[in-house]
Amino acid sequence: MSSIATPQREDSPTAPLPSLLASEYRATTLGMVALVSLIAFEALAVAAAMPTVAQALDGLPLYALAFGGTLATSVIGLTLAGRWCDARGPAPALWLGLASFIIGLVLAGAAVSMPMLLAGRLVQGLGGGCMTVALYVLVARQYPDALRPRLFAAFSAGWVVPSLVGPALSGFIVESLGWRWVFLIVPVLALPAAWLLRPALRAAHASAGSGQPTGASTPIAWAIGAALATCLLYLGGQLHGALGLAVMLPAAVGALLCAQRLLPAGTLRGGRGLPSVIALRGLACSSFFATEAFLPLLLSRERGLSPSWAGIALSIGALGWFAGSWYQGHSRSGWSRHRFLRTGTRAMCAGLLLTFGLVWPALPIPVAIAGWALTGLGMGMISASLSVLTLALSAPHEQGRNSSALQLCEALAVAATLAIGGSLFSLLLERAPQAAYLTTFAVAGLAAVAGAWIVGRTEAHRGATA
């Protein structure tokens, strides 16, 4: 058992906190936020450009796997990076992740066929997983506890701006320069951002533990199994009838078995403390992103909004996310992390209930969009607070592994929810469109309700250690 104490209330400090842009943090803060922003821009820009790419490369049958494959290989990168960061510090994982990310983007940008583009996306996902964990560990090694909520709020801001301008900018790039530059422009900007992190990475390497990860080969084998199961879930979701079920059922069982081996003991049953913190990340994110995936389609296909207005609705949710994240990082209310989590889950559940009301034509669209903003507000509080809690509940030699588990749970849960919800949606859409949306939203809603139940278990027993 670790000797890390259960986090207490975050009362206002007697001395003012230093700025994230103070001289000792400026380069590290700018470099990390820039990398997060570029990863966000790439994800959103590629999503907007992929219909053009798939048509140009005659690859529509592999369309879903171009997204799911990246998520799947990120599981391997997350697992690798977690062990490396604990043993050697975040530098090796970040540089290898950056190299893989850039190679994948260049390979995708130069693709002459859909399989070649898919290969690039797989390599890119591996690198993105490594970089994500390395950045979390760098936060733990370089910033005091009191500054971490603000830094995670800055990470949220790094996602908001690309969510507002990324799809439109991607469309401009596709029309003026060609779709290949959607992939090729990010490496040019990522290298200078990573260069800013060199001093912090050297310092973090000097303070890294000397221990080697135990049983490192076994987790990687389970991570590869989880990646394959995730890909099969996506492929099964594209099939219909008994064949799709025959693929998805063993894939779901395989993903659960691998997740049980990769995540901290007790995560899948909501064990008190850190296991529930990690489980809540998966439940909340799967609920949010499963809803977000079908919301633009519902707004445009069933409620008659233009694609631009449907995109604006998603941007409002992103702004709500940033507002919630900013508040948890700058509030002087003295709330504990657990109170932020309880408030965030309630806001998310209430917001989703309003958003799901879009299925009924009688509900005014602005009411549902307000619900989506409330959902984003709750997610901002939840996501940032879970990141802070994970680091607070981790001993220094466990920061990489636990940060990896946090991201792993999110990736696996989102992939499973999208695959299950998407297959149910495609099965029902032609016969009963309203039932298709309701069934898909029900899957997302069940995840949110489970999150609202498990939030009370994120706090360890009084007097216990995490």
Range of the domain at 281: 263-459
Phi and psi dihedrals of 465, rounded to 5?
-110, 155
Domain assignment present for residue 213? The answer is: no
Q: Is the pLDDT of residue 209 over 60?
A: no
Tell me, yes or no, whether 71 and 184 share the same domain. yes
C-alpha distances in angstroms, 414 versus 49, 126, 285, 319?
22, 17, 7, 21
pLDDT-derived band at 431, boundaries 50, 70, 90: confident
DSSP 142: H
Tell me the H-state helices in 300-398.
307-330, 337-356, 365-392
Q: What is the pLDDT of residue 4?
A: 43
Last residue of a domain, one of 161, 188, 205: 205
Select from 387, 378, 376, 381 the least CA-distant residue to 277.
Answer: 387
Tell me, yes or no, whether 442 and 318 share the same domain. yes
Tell me, yes or no, whether 200 and 287 share the same domain. no
Q: What is the pLDDT of residue 15?
A: 56
Q: Dump pLDDT digits (tens) for 120-133.
A: 999 999 999 899 88
Q: What is the mean pLDDT of residues 3-22?
A: 56
Q: Is the pLDDT of residue 6 over 60?
A: no
| Residue percentage of the chain with pLDDT more than 70 | 89
Distance CA 150, CA 172 (A): 33
Q: Is the pLDDT of residue 104 over 90?
A: yes
Tell me the H-state helices in 207-306.
217-238, 241-262, 274-297
Distance CA 413, CA 267 (A): 12
Tell me the CA end-to-end span of the chain in Å, nearest whole number. Answer: 7
Tell me, yes or no, whether 195 and 312 share the same domain. no
Tell me, yes or no, whether 45 and 121 share the same domain. yes
Q: Dump pLDDT digits (tens) for 30-48.
A: 999 999 888 888 877 777 6
Task: Evaluate whether 248 touches 237 at the Cβ level (below 8 Å).
Answer: yes
Q: Is the pLDDT of residue 276 over 50?
A: yes
Tell me, yes or no, whether 286 and 354 share the same domain. yes
Q: Dump pLDDT digits (tens) for 382-396.
A: 998 998 899 888 888
Arithmetic mean of pLDDT over the chain: 83
Domain assignment present for residue 455? The answer is: yes
Domain assignment present for residue 93? The answer is: yes
Q: Is the pLDDT of residue 208 over 60?
A: no
Q: What is the pLDDT of residue 96?
A: 92
- What's the per-residue H, E or C state across 124-190? HHHHHHHHHHHHHHHHHHHCCHHHHHHHHHHHHHHHHHHHHHHHHHHHHHHHHCCCHHHHHHHHHHH
Tell me, yes or no, whether 37 and 172 share the same domain. yes
Q: What is the pLDDT of residue 436?
A: 86
Q: Is the pLDDT of residue 242 over 80?
A: no
Tell me, yes or no, whether 425 and 304 share the same domain. yes
Domain assignment present for residue 231? The answer is: no
Residue 189 burial (CB < 10 Å; 0-12/13-18/19+)?
middle
What's the CATH number where 98 sits?
A: 1.20.1250.20
Q: What is the pLDDT of residue 206?
A: 56
Last residue of a domain, one of 157, 187, 205: 205
If one counts every other C-beta atom within 10 angstroms of the C-beta of residue 428, the result is 17
Q: Is the pLDDT of residue 414 over 70?
A: yes
Tokens of 403: 């940060």
Tell me, yes or no, whether 29 and 115 share the same domain. yes
Distance of CA 342 to the CA centre of its chain: 20
Tell me the H-state helices in 22-90.
26-56, 63-88
Q: Is the pLDDT of residue 190 over 50?
A: yes
CB contact set of 312 (below 8 Å; sequence gap of 6+): none
Domain assignment present for residue 15? The answer is: no
Distance CA 422, CA 416 (A): 10
Q: What is the pLDDT of residue 379?
A: 93
Q: What is the pLDDT of residue 227?
A: 85
Q: Is the pLDDT of residue 108 over 60?
A: yes
Distance CA 440, CA 219 (A): 32
Q: What is the mean pLDDT of residues 307-314?
A: 74
Tell me, yes or no, whether 170 and 274 share the same domain. no
Distance CA 285, CA 262 (A): 18
Tell me, yes or no, whether 326 and 200 share the same domain. no
* Beta-bridge partners for 465: 5
Q: Is the pLDDT of residue 205 over 70?
A: no
Domain assignment present for residue 131? The answer is: yes
Q: What is the pLDDT of residue 352?
A: 96
* Half-sphere exposure for 52 (CA within 13 Å, toward CB): 17
Domain assignment present for residue 230? The answer is: no
Select from 388, 336, 391, 337 the least CA-distant residue to 4.
Answer: 391
pLDDT-derived band at 240, boundaries 50, 70, 90: low
Q: What is the pLDDT of residue 375?
A: 96
Residue 366 burial (CB < 10 Å; 0-12/13-18/19+)?
exposed
Domain assignment present for residue 423? The answer is: yes
Q: What is the pLDDT of residue 64?
A: 65
Distance CA 340, CA 151 (A): 16
The SS3 of residue 201 is: helix
Q: What is the pLDDT of residue 218?
A: 66
Which stretch of 214-228, 321-335, 387-401, 440-454 has the lowest confidence by average pLDDT?
A: 214-228
Tell me, yes or no, whether 297 and 440 share the same domain. yes
Task: Evaluate whether 375 touches 351 at the Cβ level (below 8 Å).
Answer: yes
Select from 246, 207, 232, 258 the least CA-distant residue to 408.
Answer: 258
Which stretch of 93-97, 105-109, 163-167, 370-374 has the lowest confidence by average pLDDT?
A: 163-167
| Residue percentage of the chain with pLDDT more than 90 | 25
Last residue of a domain, one of 178, 205, 232: 205
Distance CA 100, CA 123 (A): 6
Q: What is the mean pLDDT of residues 179-198?
A: 88
Which stretch of 1-5, 107-111, 359-363, 383-387 has the lowest confidence by average pLDDT?
A: 1-5
Number of domains present in the structure of the chain: 2
* Beta-bridge partners for 201: none
- Element holding 453 (H helix, E strand): helix 433-454
